[in-house]
Structure 1
């Protein structure tokens, strides 16, 4: 009615009779999807730097989290490891999920792609689980703050951003190992050899940088489809046996040799004996 009448006095009179517009005095809550990407605990100085958080949490850190979660066995899935690492950065810095993921070297498409393709999920993915991640993460944060020689994983990721195991070093590692049984492979032997070197390079890089093998430079260079091989594929089997070598003598020895090589690279590049990765 106000817009159709052109009598100024009438318009002024009508407007004066209307109640004043509502002005909220409290902050409007964030949408659920936005809250799910917030730090799940209070942001404060926790005694460690975000650089001290690896993108791929080692197994012994999960033991620490279990101790601070009332004895509940926290999920050790890949998606939870990523979530926990991102949250450790968030609760120490106040970063949003996107910024913390980028800080850890996690690709943007891992958490911004279609839901069924995502490899990093926010809090709502874990809200229906019996575990309470808040005391677990706070306890783990305290553990990190008490490390005598914490590793600067971000500096490691930058230093070894384009690193790959060269053929000479791979040959030296192989020289001290027994030959693997290859009669069950469905691909030619020279392809098996290439996959072994590729996975060995990824494993060493993972140990050096505290990151997933699928983020290694050799994996990224092969494109997104090759970065996550099917578990039943030759490369998937090699990766699995490197991570879980029990029952495979060759892979037990190979893992040990690769871990020693990573230790040598870390100490020679930094000049100190602070290398430590346990899974």
Structure 2
């Protein structure tokens, strides 16, 4: 039915026509004050209703207003407005659907003659122990801003036409069935009682049920709360005729829509599982590890967002192929990445077919037998590099939700996000340690012996053994004591200033990380490092740092080197400083268990020669007559070790 609009009200609705003169504001203020005084009484209503099972607050207000023959706005004003309550009944926020502030709660209970438990059961917050619903509070000035992080439907709802029609009781024949709370949850896409997919659009105007003109910016508690005479099951969408400057409500009956075809057993089984997770406080498997039902639902929320953001790459994981077309139509075009290349991490489609497809795909990942299997499926949906995966919209959202998700999903995803940091991102940043050890950083050798390396890292292929051998101690320091690669290199005595050696170290970390991500188990390298840490824990601890400090300015003196060359009848050419520096590096490496290329005698010799590349490749073993000098250099190294370790 059409109604002419007052010019001021038209301007508020359409937000146009600013050229029209504003009405007398003092008169409007007095009029509003009179209306507030008349509508803010907290006396009990003359008649009320018993809440239906699983009924939501907006649905109860619609049925109650229909019985009292008042608009929902007047009922809200009579039951919630007043000191400490809401200020404008027609602008009541959707946040009241989640939880009522204490003052509003008590006022509403008294006016509607309901018990406190009955009022709580009307809000979505009563499900917070079983469903990831964050706490909320009524914002100042009736703010109606949508919280995008909420996994709820606030700008519309799903519904079952048969359930909405009600049963044969007098109250439901007159005022209709319940608008259910669970229809506001994205995990509910089907009616198990009638074995059909829920609906979300009005058959008349094809707009979302209980939708509004807010477009996600301003969401009222009840759509069209000022419209009189509508049945609770009628559509409340208000299209505006901008030419005639009138508004007309749709008014189509949602409970007379023919139900859709019966669902297959796969869809019904998934819905039963989700209802069991919602209604149970027990445990179930998530990514191969038993966890609480609430954490499983958090996992489900995270993975539905990942599937939506990565579609159609996740199409091959969809177990219920009847929803593939709906997902293609909704995701490939409607939610294409924006200029930043990101899709919204918190994406919750109102269309039940789209929701069912996302939930089925996410549940398939979580139903994996172990973390490695789930990781393989998730890896295909993320960017190839760990840094890009972490910086993606979904990656940031996952890190924020890390404390709430299950151990299984955490173990599956974190290896795909973790990177070897080059330097701290800010002065207060420090990467957390992931190992508990009984040794200190000074007890980690800079270079692994042949036996140790083969025992822990000899099985790896597809990567340079030298690169692994060089990086493993650095990674061990980082895992055991936290910090960045620069911190770990400093602990190990590796030069930390900008140099070709450090550039190669950081570049090698990136190569190893990329290589790890391509393996069936991206954690395999870190697991080998952890095994190495366990071996070091079970051995006597050697202070390699003290040895490095003691050997910092040491080198074989020319006179001692000449005596060694003469004693072992080596070529006189070995008397050159280059060969003495190489021999000193060999001894230094034996004493400190360090990398010969970082030996101070060799670095000092190279710096003195002003070579363009201070780390150019030199055949350290072939630079001297190594076979003849082995006994002498070994004896010298043993004597130095005994002397250094004996000094307290």
Cα offset for 1:84? 0.3
Which has the bigger relative contact order, CA under 8 A and spacing at least 6? 1
Cα offset for 1:22? 5.1
Q: Write the deviation string for residues 201-236 of structure 1: whole angstroms up to 9, x where unpaired.
A: 111112122222221222332337453233xxxxx2
1:146 aligns with 2:561: no
1:19 aligns with 2:128: no
Cα offset for 1:59? 0.9
Cα distance change, pair 226–177 in 1 and its aligned pair in 2 (3 A): farther
* Cα distance in structure 1, aligned partners of 2:431 and 2:454: 20
1:64 and 1:140 in contact (8 A); partners too: no
Cα offset for 1:256? 3.2
What residue number does 2:515 align with?
126
What residue number does 1:261 align with?
636
Cα distance change, pair 62–105 in 1 and its aligned pair in 2 (3 A): same
* Cα distance in structure 1, aligned partners of 2:500 and 2:513: 13
How high is the TM-score relative to the length of structure 1? 0.68
Aligned length: 239
1:83 aligns with 2:471: yes
1:204 and 1:259 in contact (8 A); partners too: yes
What secondary structure, in the 3-state scheme, does the structure 2 residue paired with 1:98 have?
Answer: helix
Cα distance change, pair 119–262 in 1 and its aligned pair in 2 (3 A): farther
1:205 and 1:262 in contact (8 A); partners too: yes
Cα offset for 1:119? 6.3
Cα distance change, pair 204–110 in 1 and its aligned pair in 2 (3 A): same
What secondary structure, in the 3-state scheme, does the structure 2 residue paired with 1:264 have?
Answer: helix
What residue number does 1:185 align with?
none
Larger radius of gyration: 2
Q: Which moved more, 1:97-106 or 1:215-224?
A: 215-224
1:57 and 1:85 in contact (8 A); partners too: yes
1:110 and 1:117 in contact (8 A); partners too: no
Cα offset for 1:200? 0.5
Cα offset for 1:75? 5.5
What residue number does 1:241 align with?
622
2:453 and 2:469 in contact (8 A); partners too: no
- Within a 5 Å distance, the mapping from 1:48-197 to structure 2 comes to 48-66=439-457, 71-72=459-460, 77-108=465-496, 109=498, 120-122=508-510, 123-127=512-516, 128=518, 132-147=524-539, 149-180=540-571, 189=573, 193-197=576-580
Cα distance change, pair 117–91 in 1 and its aligned pair in 2 (3 A): closer
Cα offset for 1:145? 1.2
2:495 and 2:502 in contact (8 A); partners too: no
1:111 and 1:118 in contact (8 A); partners too: no
Q: Write the deviation string for residues 28-48 of structure 1: whole angstroms up to 9, x where unpaired.
A: 49xx99931169997232233
1:177 and 1:253 in contact (8 A); partners too: yes
Aligned-residue RMSD, C-alpha: 4.2
Q: Write the deviation string for residues 240-265 of structure 1: whole angstroms up to 9, x where unpaired.
A: 426xxxxx9x3112133212211111
How high is the TM-score relative to the length of structure 2? 0.32
Q: Write the deviation string for residues 155-213 of structure 1: whole angstroms up to 9, x where unpaired.
A: 11112112111112212322331324x8xxxxxx47x7221111011111121222222
1:43 and 1:91 in contact (8 A); partners too: yes
* Cα distance in structure 2, aligned partners of 1:193 and 1:254: 15
1:110 and 1:119 in contact (8 A); partners too: no
* Cα distance in structure 2, aligned partners of 1:140 and 1:271: 27
Structure 1 unaligned segments of length 5 or more: list them.
Answer: 183-188, 231-235, 243-247, 273-279
Structure 2 unaligned segments of length 5 or more: list them.
Answer: 1-17, 19-24, 26-87, 92-140, 151-396, 403-414, 422-429
